[in-house]
Amino acid sequence: MARKKITVVGAGFVGATLAQRLAEMELGDVVVVDIPATEQMPAGKALDITESAPIYGYDCKITGTTSYEASAGSDVVIITAGIPRKPGMSRDDLLNTNAKIVSSVTENIAKTSPNAILIIVSNPLDAMCLVALRTSKFPKHRVLGMAGVLDSARMRSFIAEALEVSMENVHAMVLGGHGDTMVPLPRFSTVAGIPITELLSKEKISAINQRTRDGGAEIVKLLKTGSAYYAPSASAAEMVEAILKDKKKILPCAVYLEGEYGVDGVFVGVPCKLGARGLEQIVQLNLTVDERAELMKSASAVKELAAALK
């Protein structure tokens, strides 16, 4: 049986770490594509990952290239390309610069891998998903954003730390846009099935919620240059695994909503069943009035970003 083919666009920290994780998970052959200006850098990273294969025991092929030819016929494509925000840049500046990059990448992918499932990691994430959907003209079940998996993983790690329990015991749910307005849901966050609302004080939960919202910024502040890549790459790899192994796994992902949760025409993070078709079902939670209000506020922030797209 032919191996699956996975393409990672962008050979920076997130892309290269993701390629390594995918190889170690033996999910398929991996192609890492970067812009021609990077010359032989993607090939160098691919060779380095290949040379660790005898130690970790994986047999998939890793290719690094500056052309999309090697990526042709990919089953899943993860787009990590884009520039980070620089001092003096507004969010809109970043928005339209990255929109051009994501649009160009998606155009190439749509030509070479017309049946691929796209996972967007580039920021501002929810708006970049919309760019990819419009450019590719793929059906909405094949364009997904990696946000809620990462935000939930951050929340899970903070809950485990607060309660001194195994990370494996903790599940969390974070909905909404991938930004300051994201909506952590303590009622749907559990430790071995017990809601955290029964285990932690309101003050502690409130602090965890805020730390979850600030998760990316906290790491940027500590690193001084660049942003997170270990947890984002792990989150994207979990999504790829759910799709290629047809696991029907429920994960919070950014997907295009058409009336679900009262939101229409934008990408917002909601619980999704991921399988071989990509998005197979949007799971509708019964939210309280307050939770719904927070989600609508988050969706409005995403709509503003989408409206600012040139």
For residue range 26-48, list pLDDT tens digits in order. Answer: 999 999 999 999 999 999 999 99
For residue range 65-93, list pLDDT tens digits in order. Answer: 999 999 999 999 999 999 876 666 666 67
* Mean pLDDT of all residues in 282-306: 96
How confident is the model at residue 246, as a pLDDT?
A: 98
141 labelled catalytic: no
Which CATH number applies to 5-145?
3.40.50.720
For residue range 251-271, list pLDDT tens digits in order. Answer: 999 999 999 999 999 999 999
Question: Domain 148-307 classified CATH 3.90.110.10?
Answer: yes
Q: Exactly one of 156, 178, 213, 303 is catalytic; name it.
A: 178
Look at strands 190-191 and 194-195 and give their pairing.
antiparallel
CATH topology match: 5-145 vs 148-307: no
Q: What is the pTM of this model?
A: 0.97
Exposed/middle/buried for 110, CB within 10 Å: 0-12, 13-18, 19+?
middle
**What are the structural domain ranges in the chain?**
5-145, 148-307
